[in-house]
Chain A
């Protein structure tokens, strides 16, 4: 078993208004299998609590937020304010089912990116790959990028 300070850490949870637990548990399971220390905040988690978890685990590589009920934009509305306050400084990844509701998928992605979301994933299978890419970029920063 690797010790805590060398283990890669991620913070995961489901957006504030969303109580879908199953995918959240499956993703936590997959990431733990892949060797991550998973801080799982579970369903109905306000953005503020993701920020608190990040200050408790400052070495976390990313914050992963699931949203299945179509309210991702409303649930993440505090992101610019938290970022401006110097919190939630790590990559924020959002995934799930973003197209439910009045906004079409494309618009919704655009709106989320404008809020400051760094990456949007359609498929939970892409999570380990994206985390590896982000990790590699952090360990060996590309000059000039």
Chain B
């Protein structure tokens, strides 16, 4: 089996598969951890039980997704070595310490306080429990900081030298950590995580509002999520624009591929190709639907700015334009749809009919998984867009892989696919089932519900949480 396959392509596919599955969980838990910290903080500050009920509703879902994030993440820390050992040997002196910092400053922090956050409220009291929740949220952000620094260095390497063994060696750590694309990528990804979570939370709120528009927790979720959409979606579009301009400066071939832009627009403004099929054989975009001036305007912030086309780059350095042209457009479309939902909700809020608007709620349900689609499309764009390099311009993907033959990579790939679909499929099923349950003032105390024997009494902190439901 797999004898005829190229081991590099199999290894690429394996990495793409495991990392794509993995990113879904952090994208959700980064946002959810912050949301939980806000909910618990609001509960402590206002004493309103609805915040604690909503917290307890989401913390169960958080526990399941965090668990999946941890186990799929352990795989990632070994994927570099198993399938990309040459890359590991060469970049280890630079990327290794950054990942070491991620483990030391983020993973341990999250793991150390997660147990207290999930199981310890009665053991440590409210204040310390809140502290644990905040620490977990901060941990997820530290983790994003370091891993995006790692990824960004691979995209825009600087601060390095090359030694006799061909390894990249650090010369200036500040330049390495804060490499040119890092701040943009970090902001873009953290905002993406917040937006993704907001739409999941808002979608679940909408789902339960459609069944009972007086459900207090569902109202809280829906309203908070839409405030996030109003504030974060425009910020994200601005951040994305800055990120694009930064990419044009450092990875012009990627931008050209994303725009299906083959010929440099030396004597005319660059149009924005809304739709089309970039043809890698002929080096032109077929069936292009162009909007004049808009390409130059977006990318150079001037009406006639020149943007280099793919034809200026050697063919063996072309990223796959057909793919990234479309993944980029899907991501952008979702971003604008999110903005639209936010504006729609503002109008409804202004009219005072936010909780009665069933069409807005239906649209929110439709949009609720779209954050994940956008995150995946964004990552496909940036990762395929930097091909054929693992370290941009310096180390080719084809020269990075392990001395492992195709059958080995293929067999492990099949194993990953089967196991991930089985186990993470089951996890998704359980999460959807949790989401299908209406949030209630009797929200269960912990994410675990083992068989309870008689004599277990609710903690004092739970008393008085029940609020009258106007529907009754």
A-B interaction:
no
Chain B residues proximal to chain A, CB less than 8 Å = none
Chain A residues proximal to chain B, CB less than 8 Å = none
